[in-house]
Amino acid sequence: MVLLEQAIKQVNRTELSVGLFFIDLDGFKAINDTYGHDCGDELLRQVASRLKKVLRDEDALFRLGDDEFTLIISNFTDDKVVNIVAEKIISTLSKPFDILGQQCQIGSSIGIALYPKHGETIDELIKNSDTAMYDVKKTGKNNYKVYSS
């Protein structure tokens, strides 16, 4: 989370914001269990490739483990930017994947926390974006939520 720390330091000198996204792939486990780990690994590679195509060069995408990714976006003034990014992610990941000859469909549940609005520490941002993501999971998946207390 060094990049998140750097992004926070940078925006502290400006009027800009940082967004932390927690992205969980809906349906990944079933594909991994049904078609095997090679298929699951290829799906993860294709997910990362698709995500990079809808993000800016300065955005930072990381795989946390299994089927979870985190995204740091910074240098924006209008909080609506995170809605646009989340909608692009959901749209691109909702399209079918061709994985080793298998057609696979997944979705994504995304939780978002904004600095400094939803937390002034890295731990608060992580906790709040994770909470928002689990709220999405509880209410139907394949959607996003910006944290609210």
Domain ranges of the chain: 2-146
The per-residue pLDDT for 13 is 73
pLDDT band at 1 (very low <50, low <70, confident <90, very high): low
Number of neighbouring beta carbons within 10 Å of residue 7: 23
Torsion over CA: 3, 59, 109, 113 (sign):
positive
For this structure, is 67 an active site residue? yes
Residue 3 reports pLDDT greater than 80: no
Kindly report the CA angle at 29 between 70 and 89, in degrees rounded to 5? 40
| Third-level CATH fold of 2-146 | Alpha-Beta Plaits (3.30.70)
Beta strand pairing call for 144-146 and 107-115: parallel
Q: Which of 24, 26, 67, 130 is catalytic?
A: 67
pLDDT digits (tens, 9 = 90+) for 76-99: 889 999 999 999 999 999 999 999
pLDDT band at 106 (very low <50, low <70, confident <90, very high): very high
Q: Is 103 exposed, middle or buried (0-12, 13-18, 19+ CB in 10 A)?
A: exposed
The per-residue pLDDT for 15 is 77
Distance of CA 61 to the CA centre of its chain: 8
